[in-house]
Amino acid sequence: MRNVVIGGVAAGMSAASQAKRRMPNAEVIVLERGDHVSYGACGMPYNIEDPQRDILDLVVITPAEFRHTRGIDVRTRHEVLSIRAAQREIEVRDHVAGHNYLQGYDRLVIATGAEAVRPPIPGIDLPGVFLLRDLADGDAIKRFIDETGPQRAVIIGAGYIGMEMADVLNRRGLAVSVLERAQQVLPGFEPVIAGIVLDELHRHDVKVETGVAVLGVERTGQGLLVRTDRGETAADLILVSAGIRPNVALARSAGARLGEHGAIAVDTRQGTSLADIYAAGDCAEAFHRVLSKPAYVPLGTTANKQGRVAGANAAGGDEHFAGIVGTAGFRVFDLEVARTGVGAAEISSHGLDAISVVSRHASRGHHFPGSGRITTVVFAERDSGRLLGAQMVGADTVAKRVDIFATALHARMSVADVESLDLSYAPPFAPVYDPVLIAARVARKALSGHH
Ligand code: FAD
Ligand code: NAD
């Protein structure tokens, strides 16, 4: 039995490790076109923040360790050029030796991930303009900061990476400006949440322009210049964090079915439409339990879990991925921001009849030191009272509170069910009525007001 995995990050290495564990005598080969495998991309912002840390600290297991201690044949700088599903073979470019070869497989896992979007803006390829997707990108940004001492950064795109990196670059001493095309920062969040984040950015002297079109980047005698439809901003370092798109070219040309979001369509066993070919991670869709249909919510947490399922099944198992509810969180300066379930955009695009309520509550017991204010938005279905989503922002214990809502969504609970949960209370970590319970109560009352 020979299992071949394409891509060596979260989904790929989870699949390879699981396949080898299930079937120790099987041959497991990982083909990765880059130099590194098995690293925590999610840790890159915090590594860049710390000048003392080596970027390679993010590598969990090296290719040599995989080969010698786990018996997994990891081949870096090996790029898969095509999949010949009928012949059960793939064409590989060995960039080290400089030749191509054909590799046969019994079962194949596609874990090709996603790539950062590079908007078609003149000058976007100039030196000093960076993306942040893989370890090589993180290394390049860190070296640039260490070696050239940039003073001014412009970040294009105020999503997850833009927010995390505004914080990190500010901590590294750069003056940061953020340019966002949408009318608010974090377009995936409710305006009330985005407004609190905007205040936090301003409190740390981060300049923000929303509803702005970036027209071009130029090099001048004083560094780089970003031209927009409103004016110009000078920069020494530009970070483009304008979203990602799934890497599906290989799968598509092999004939695998893509879903409506453009990522590879998979069943609950991570099987694709092609026999003995599985897909997992940022290249694939995932079943969304709130919408009861496939969605594209590319995250490391999902990539790891889907990879594990794909690897187990490639090795003859029968594992199923339970699906997602769309949970993500991040930190920006002193705030935690997180969401789960669906938000206003998905509610309207799926024609759901829902209400949303906003509540504000303390994070800890009355007068307890360190208590902060948490703002919560809850979405609930009007007729059934079912919880549809929640978003939270605050200085304290927000992300893990959103996980309570995520658990409730997984179990298809109503807001009344959430309101009656038995959550822990002691002043150091919660008020008598937890902000989660208060938010659910406000939603339940708003719903009953409609009847
Ligand atoms: P990828 O990480 O994209 O890996 C795919 C690999 O496949 C790549 O190494 C690529 O070189 C290789 N490949 C592609 N095509 C070929 C080919 N033809 N031949 C050979 N190899 C190929 N997620 C969270 O859940 N929480 C977080 O806090 C979080 N923070 C993040 C912070 C940053 C800065 C970034 C960039 C991402 C973050 N994410 C986070 C997202 C998370 O990193 C991704 O969801 C995860 O890396 C996806 O893993 P993957 O293996 O599916 O794909
Ligand atoms: P994103 O989709 O979160 O944000 C992209 C932002 O760029 C959006 O606000 C969009 O409106 C804006 N944008 C797009 N084109 C633009 C343009 N031409 N000019 C100005 N703004 C533009 O994507 P990202 O921040 O690049 O992150 C990539 C992926 O990594 C995401 O899918 C995210 O899930 C993942 N990630 C997750 C975490 C986390 O969970 N903590 C952290 C970082 C990254």
Q: For 378-396, write each residue's pLDDT tens digit.
A: 999 999 999 999 999 999 8
Say how many Å lie between the CA of residue 116 and the centre of ligand 1. Answer: 10
Q: Which atom from ligand 1 is nearest to the alpha carbon of 299?
A: 45
Q: pLDDT tens across 160-212, in order?
A: 999 999 999 999 999 999 999 999 999 999 999 999 999 999 999 999 999 99
Other Cβ atoms within 10 Å of 399 Cβ, number: 17
CA-to-CA distance for 188 and 157, rounded, in angstroms?
Answer: 12
CA-to-CA distance for 115 and 241, rounded, in angstroms?
Answer: 11
CA-to-CA distance for 230 and 213, rounded, in angstroms?
Answer: 8
Closest CA to 145 of 53, 45, 42, 237: 237
CA-to-CA distance for 230 and 211, rounded, in angstroms?
Answer: 10
Give yes or no for residue 402 CB within 6 A of ligand 2: no
CA-to-CA distance for 289 and 179, rounded, in angstroms?
Answer: 34
Residue 97 amino acid letter: A
Query: Which of these is catalytic: 2, 21, 40, 42?
Result: 42
Query: Using an 8 Å Cβ cutoff, are 233 and 179 in contact?
Result: yes
pLDDT of residue 450: 54
Give yes or no for residue 9 CB within 6 A of ligand 1: yes
**R_g (Cα) of the chain, nearest Å:** 23
pLDDT of residue 44: 98
Closest CA to 240 of 132, 322, 149: 132
| Residue 42 annotated among the catalytic residues of the structure | yes
The two beta strands, 175-180 and 207-210, are: parallel
Q: Which atom from ligand 2 is nearest to the alpha carbon of 121?
A: 18
Residue 134 amino acid letter: D
- Residue whose tokens read 């290249």: 283
CA-closest residue to ligand 2 atom 37: 160
Strands (E), 273-384: 277-279, 286-288, 293-295, 328-332, 335-341, 354-362, 373-381
pLDDT of residue 366: 85
The pair of three-digit structure tokens given for residue 181, joined into one six-digit string: 């095309």
Other Cβ atoms within 10 Å of 253 Cβ, number: 11
Q: pLDDT tens across 402-425, in order?
A: 999 999 999 999 999 999 999 999
CA-closest residue to ligand 1 atom 1: 113
CA-to-CA distance for 271 and 313, rounded, in angstroms?
Answer: 9
432, pLDDT greater than 60: yes
Say how many Å lie between the CA of residue 141 and the centre of ligand 1. Answer: 17
CA-to-CA distance for 263 and 282, rounded, in angstroms?
Answer: 8
Give yes or no for residue 331 CB within 6 A of ligand 2: no
- Percent helix, strand, coil in the chain (nearest 5)? 30, 30, 40
| CA dist list (Å): 351 to 292, 323, 346 | 13, 21, 8
CA-closest residue to ligand 2 atom 2: 243
247, pLDDT greater than 60: yes
